[in-house]
Amino acid sequence: MLETIPEFFRKLAETYPKWNFIFFYDPVQWERVLGGLLVTVQLSIVCVIFSVVIGIIGAWAQGSPSAAIRWIVAGYIQFFRNTPPMIQLLFFYFALGQFTPTVTGADGWTEQPIISNVGWAIVSLSFFAGAFNVEIFRAGIEAVPDTTKEAAESLGMTRLQTYTQVVLPLALRVSLPSLNNNLVNLVKTTTQAIAIAVPELLYEMVSIWNDYNSAQNAAMTVLFFTYIGLVGVLIFGMHRWERALFIPGFGGTK
Amino acid sequence: MKPLLKLFTTTAVATATTLSALASSYAASCTNDSWNKIQDRGKLVVGIKEDTKPWGFIDTDGNLVGMEADMAQEVADMLGVELELVGVQSSNRMQLLEQGYIDLMIATMSDRDDRRKIVGAVLPNYYTSGTNILAPKALGFKDWSELEGKTVCGKQGTFYNKIIEERYGATVVAFTGNAEAKQALRNKRCVAWVFDDSSIAADLASGEYEDFEMPLQTEDDNPWALAVPIGERDCIFGRFMAGMQYEWLRTGHLLELEKKWGIQESAFLVKQKDRFKDWLED
């Protein structure tokens, strides 16, 4: 059985030279695809988590009594939401990357920065998606009635307690559908990390079809289906979460 | 009436197809699609590089210029049509030609066996280059084998990334463009940038890389080919471009273009000029 799959794709490539699924029968290329997929999955998971955390903290800071903090959050959102993620990646890696501390390599010339290209991709993509998440959570927070907040206040809860224990749990339920959309976008945006040579799935696939020109159509097809799969897993998880959190009157259905 | 009409049209179409098939059998199924398209719209669309100074690059005014842009202009002038230049990258140049977005590709492409299966590379080869590295003088590389285990910056779409990794055990970090790859080298993220020796020589001559050198023996010297759509390689377009290249090489015109763009005179072109010399000329 395991032998027939590589055999099938080898035959296919012989019959249709434009459909060379080389990675399904050449172990070296298969390793490259798996390596790229692993980086994509890691990048996606880490960025999803960071961006949600940034969104939650940012939305809280937006309601801060301090005008300075509100200004900083507003500035952050304007900067990251209004510039293309590709330019952010290039800017972070090439421009800011020059000023971060580096470790001089064994040869005495190369300087390995403390933040690698993968690190910058995580920073940049998390902040990019985080800026949208702040606004998404704000929409949810504004949907929580003032009377609820006042009730919490009258029970003697502090601003932080009100936020973490009353407002956020309710706001999260309202925010989930738009959060879904943004996180799906984030997973797809990880492909742009190819600009700073992060060896994610698109990078590996482009490298493969450059090395084996006949593999181009095959690589593109597999890319499509892989992202459909990855996003599918994310959406499935988010829907499960949405249903688990369901309470009447705060969006969603059981 | 209607079925009769249908039958009539079908017969007419079938007859026409048979006739045209007979007519073109002398030139093994040449449809000359691109060639005819160029004449019909009065415009030639040529793909050249946008980041490979001085062959094809974007100048300070934002125009695509370079030695290959000049060559494209001469092709358009000879055809008597307008020229439109399209910036291409190593990783998409063949696809753009294959899909018909460009009619002709003159984009520093190494002429490789597997590439000839996709695009119609036209002989004689108009240029050549080999693989070398741009590395800091401080590291003092002497031999390719010293790259083992080191990180080398490269560009997506060049054929030697794989060779460097397999033959010398270096790790190639491939960027999408030359500008990014060279910036990464200047930021000291890698020990060297691997690319065409002729392009590296041009960079060194520009004076922007004073602390760098091209220290190794050039490897895998590989002629370049311009390309027409593969179906037209042995048709009018391919033959026409073969003639253009023959004249460029015979007259030494490319040597003049090299001078114009500040490229070191290449031994290859001198040799070709001699090879195609007119025997009646004194």
Rounded to whole angstroms, the Cα distance separating A140 from A174 reads 5
Looking at per-residue pLDDT, the higher value among B34 and B13 belongs to B34
B248 in Cβ contact with B126 (< 8 Å): yes
Is the Cβ of A212 closer than 8 Å to some Cβ of chain B? yes
Position B77 scores a pLDDT of 92
Is the Cβ of A158 closer than 8 Å to some Cβ of chain B? no
Q: Alpha carbon of A229 to those of A178, A223, A238, B14, B165: distances in Å? A: 20, 10, 14, 47, 31
B133 in Cβ contact with B215 (< 8 Å): yes
Rounded to whole angstroms, the Cα distance separating A198 from A204 reads 9
At B1, the pLDDT band (50, 70, 90 cuts) reads: very low
User: What is this structure's pTM?
Assistant: 0.76
Looking at every residue in chain B, the average pLDDT score rounds to 84
At B24, the pLDDT band (50, 70, 90 cuts) reads: very low
Is the Cβ of B162 closer than 8 Å to some Cβ of chain A? yes
Position B159 scores a pLDDT of 82
pLDDT at B98 over 60: yes
What is the amino acid identity at position B11? T
> Token pair of A226, please?
């892989």
What is the amino acid identity at position B131? T
Over residues A85-137, the pLDDT tens digits come to: 999 999 999 888 888 888 887 777 888 778 888 999 999 999 999 999 999 99
Q: Alpha carbon of B165 to those of A131, A157, A231, B148, B185: distances in Å? A: 40, 62, 33, 9, 18
Q: What residue spans define the domains of chain A? A: 45-206
Query: In which residue are the tokens 């580096």 written?
Result: A102
B121 in Cβ contact with B260 (< 8 Å): no
- Average pLDDT rounded to a whole number, residues B259-265: 82
Is the Cβ of A107 closer than 8 Å to some Cβ of chain B? yes
Nearest to B102 by CA among B116, B117, B85: B85
A208 in Cβ contact with A34 (< 8 Å): no
- Average pLDDT rounded to a whole number, residues B20-25: 46
Q: How many CB atoms lie within 10 A of CB A97?
A: 23
Cα A26 to chain centroid, rounded: 30
Nearest CA in chain A to B136: A109
Is the Cβ of B190 closer than 8 Å to some Cβ of chain A? yes
Q: Alpha carbon of A155 to those of A143, A161, B59, B69: distances in Å? A: 21, 11, 68, 76
Looking at per-residue pLDDT, the higher value among A123 and B1 belongs to A123
Report helix, strand and coil shares of chain A as percent, to nearest 5. 80, 0, 20
Cα A71 to chain centroid, rounded: 26
Position B33 scores a pLDDT of 87
Position B21 scores a pLDDT of 47
Is the Cβ of A197 closer than 8 Å to some Cβ of chain B? yes
> Token pair of B1, please?
């009436």
- Enumerate domains of chain B plus CATH numbers: 31-128+222-275 (3.40.190.10), 129-221 (3.40.190.10)
Which runs of E-coded beta strand occur in chain B? 43-49, 51-52, 56-58, 64-65, 82-88, 104-105, 119-136, 151-155, 171-175, 192-196, 212-213, 219-229
What is the amino acid identity at position B165? E
Nearest CA in chain B to A107: B139
Nearest CA in chain A to B190: A110
Is the Cβ of A206 closer than 8 Å to some Cβ of chain B? yes
Rounded to whole angstroms, the Cα distance separating A236 from A251 reads 18
Looking at per-residue pLDDT, the higher value among A81 and B264 belongs to A81
Over residues B101-111, the pLDDT tens digits come to: 999 999 988 88
Count Cα atoms within 13 angstroms, Cβ side, for A209: 26
Chain A positions touching B183 (Cβ under 8 A) are: 94
Rounded to whole angstroms, the Cα distance separating B94 from B100 reads 10
Rounded to whole angstroms, the Cα distance separating A191 from A203 reads 8
Looking at per-residue pLDDT, the higher value among B228 and A1 belongs to B228
SS3 B88: strand
SS3 B47: strand
- Average pLDDT rounded to a whole number, residues A203-229: 90
Cβ–Cβ of A97/B162 closer than 8 Å?
no
Position B6 scores a pLDDT of 56
- Average pLDDT rounded to a whole number, residues B253-272: 85
Cβ–Cβ of B191/A110 closer than 8 Å?
yes
Question: Across the interface, which of B117, B139, B173 has its CB nearest the CB of A197?
Answer: B173
- Average pLDDT rounded to a whole number, residues A170-191: 93
Position A139 scores a pLDDT of 92
Q: What percent of chain B has pLDDT over 70?
A: 90
Distance from CA of B74 to the nearest CA of A (A): 30
What is the amino acid identity at position A55? G
- Alpha-carbon dihedral sign for residues A113, A118, A120, A122: negative
- Average pLDDT rounded to a whole number, residues B43-69: 89
Q: Which residues contact B14 (CB under 8 A, 6 or more apart)?
A: none
Position A233 scores a pLDDT of 95
Distance from CA of A29 to the nearest CA of B (A): 12
Q: What percent of chain B has pLDDT over 90?
A: 26
Q: What percent of chain A has pLDDT over 70?
A: 97
Q: Alpha carbon of B62 to those of A116, B59, B153: distances in Å? A: 32, 5, 26
Which stretches within A155-249 are classed as H helix?
159-162, 168-189, 201-211, 216-244
Position B59 scores a pLDDT of 86
Position B113 scores a pLDDT of 83
Question: Across the interface, which of B94, B161, B187 has its CB nearest the CB of A213?
Answer: B94
Position B27 scores a pLDDT of 55
What is the amino acid identity at position A198? V
Q: Which residues contact B117 (CB under 8 A, 6 or more apart)?
A: A17, A213, A214, B230
Is the Cβ of A17 closer than 8 Å to some Cβ of chain B? yes
ipTM: 0.74
Cβ–Cβ of B161/A94 closer than 8 Å?
no
Task: Give CATH for domain A45-206.
Answer: 1.10.3720.10
Looking at every residue in chain A, the average pLDDT score rounds to 89
Cβ–Cβ of A210/B151 closer than 8 Å?
no
> Token pair of A179, please?
């959060």
Distance from CA of B226 to the nearest CA of A (A): 17
Nearest to B146 by CA among B164, B161, B130, B159: B164
Cβ–Cβ of A210/B180 closer than 8 Å?
no
Rounded to whole angstroms, the Cα distance separating B141 from B152 reads 13
> B171 forms bridges with which residues in the sheet?
B151
Is the Cβ of B242 closer than 8 Å to some Cβ of chain A? no
Instruction: Work out whether strand B43-49 and strand B82-88 pair parallel, antiparallel, or are unpaired.
Output: parallel
Over residues A23-46, the pLDDT tens digits come to: 898 888 899 999 999 999 999 999
Is the Cβ of A142 closer than 8 Å to some Cβ of chain B? no
Nearest to B182 by CA among B167, B194, B170, B172: B194
Distance from CA of B251 to the nearest CA of A (A): 35
Is the Cβ of B171 closer than 8 Å to some Cβ of chain A? no
Nearest CA in chain A to B146: A107
Q: What angle do CA B211, B201, B177 make, to 5 degrees?
A: 85
